[in-house]
Amino acid sequence: MISFYENICKFAEKDMRALVFFLLSGFLLACSSVRISHISEVKKVGKNYWLYALPKTELYIDIFIDKRTYFKGPYAEFASKYLGIQNVVQKNYEQYSIKDIKINTSQVADSEQIFLINYSKKLPWKSIQQSYDGLIYSINTVNDIPKSNEWFENNKIHEFSAFEPILYSEVSKSPFIHEKIDTVYKQVKIDTIWSRIPVQRKTVDTLKKEDKAKEAAKIIFELRSRMYDLFSGELEYIPQGEAAVHIAQELRMQEQEYMELFLGKTFQTTLHYRFKWTPTMDEKNLYILTYFSENKGLLQNPEKDAEPIILQLKSSQSFVPAMFQILKFEKAKQKSNVFYFKFPNKAIAKVLFENNVLYEKEILLFQTGRIQKIPIAYLKRGTLKLSEPVFYFQNCSNKKSDK
């Protein structure tokens, strides 16, 4: 007796296309109890149904701003006179610069691409991995849900390395007050004669600011002299090894503290901004994220000295996945018996500032992608993974996969 498979092989020798159509038709008849339609085309919802959504791409643009805060030293105006240093900071101010930019993407459910699955008894698949908002990650797989990222709130600012509340705690090694002795004369009557007797009176006065600066400058030169003696061999006893290193570090630290009284202090802070943007089909390829000023940092609204930071997104319509070339189900694409999914297009995301490209990255954009169809019967025993950025399909025989 000639087996069923032998008949199939003979049939295939005559017409391979007829064989493909025959097999797919058999699959479709086996799954005729399942109907998938776009939600806008559904007129009646059955007793058993399942909703799922196609993905769309959200962009998260992280901008890191370097903030430098300059504080004037208390003796800044005397830096030239006592130290010979010109052009020191004479007022407190802030300066900003763009430090780093990053772009990440995430898949979310597209509210305009929702499909309804009507079925009689049960779904034709063993399992569906789906997100809380209806986005399908895979069919007939286990534990294939991507790890979620903890996104920061939109435009939330993160600061690091804040400056100290007390800027200058050591400004002199001597007290800020000094005693002054004045001689006064007091008239004293001795018998019938008035006599003038000298009397000394102590008064306490505060040192003038310039006197304090002069003393601080003197200390700086004394520290430098001690450092010179340490390494020139002028000392009677020269410390060795770790002792010499420790003494040198201490002298440098003290000199730095006294120099800051004239030069001022600088504190560096990193600000982290995150912007979320969901591209649409009809949106322009240029989008203003924010405005940047070297004096004020990132701004929500344009100002006189601020320039826009622009996101440019160019999608490529020529991206056709290899899977679409391999699985030619043109004859099997009957509307009620296919599963709808979406392939993303490639896109180039750029961040521009003053006509310069600060950052560039290739991303996958589902909004401009093409909706594809695959027979429901073909997925009955097959495996389908749609997690970004790889599309994976394993056919019913479980012997071959295409990526």
**Residue (of 161, 53, 156, 143) closest to 107 by Cα position:** 53
In this prediction, residues 139-153 reach a mean pLDDT of: 57
Lowest mean pLDDT among 20-24, 93-97, 155-159: 20-24
In this prediction, residues 369-381 reach a mean pLDDT of: 77
- Model pLDDT, residue 401: 40
* Predicted confidence (pLDDT) at residue 94 exceeds the cutoff of 50: yes
Rounded CA gap, 188 and 304, in Å?
A: 77
* Predicted confidence (pLDDT) at residue 370 exceeds the cutoff of 70: yes
> What secondary structure does DSSP assign to 241-300, as a single string?
THHHHHHHHHHHHHHHHHHHHHH-EEEEEEEEEEEEE---TTS-SEEEEEEEETTTEEES
- Model pLDDT, residue 202: 63
- Model pLDDT, residue 72: 92
In this prediction, residues 255-278 reach a mean pLDDT of: 90
280 compared with 163, residue with greater pLDDT = 280
In this prediction, residues 320-342 reach a mean pLDDT of: 58
* Predicted confidence (pLDDT) at residue 154 exceeds the cutoff of 50: no
194 compared with 226, residue with greater pLDDT = 226
Rounded CA gap, 72 and 265, in Å?
A: 7
Residues 6+ apart with CB under 8 A from 213: 75, 78, 82, 261, 262
- Model pLDDT, residue 361: 93
Helices (H), 74-208: 79-83
* Predicted confidence (pLDDT) at residue 396 exceeds the cutoff of 50: no
pLDDT band at 263 (very low <50, low <70, confident <90, very high): very high
* Predicted confidence (pLDDT) at residue 338 exceeds the cutoff of 90: no
Q: CB of 60 within 8 A of CB of 153?
A: no
- Model pLDDT, residue 371: 83
- Model pLDDT, residue 119: 85
- Model pLDDT, residue 70: 92
- In sequence order, the β-bridge partners of residue 341 are 372
pTM over the 0.75 mark: no
pLDDT, one tens digit per residue, over 189-213 is 777 777 777 766 665 556 788 888 8
**Residue (of 272, 269, 372, 283) closest to 320 by Cα position:** 372
Lowest mean pLDDT among 7-11, 271-275, 314-318, 329-333: 7-11
Q: What percent of the chain has pLDDT over 90?
A: 23
- Model pLDDT, residue 28: 40
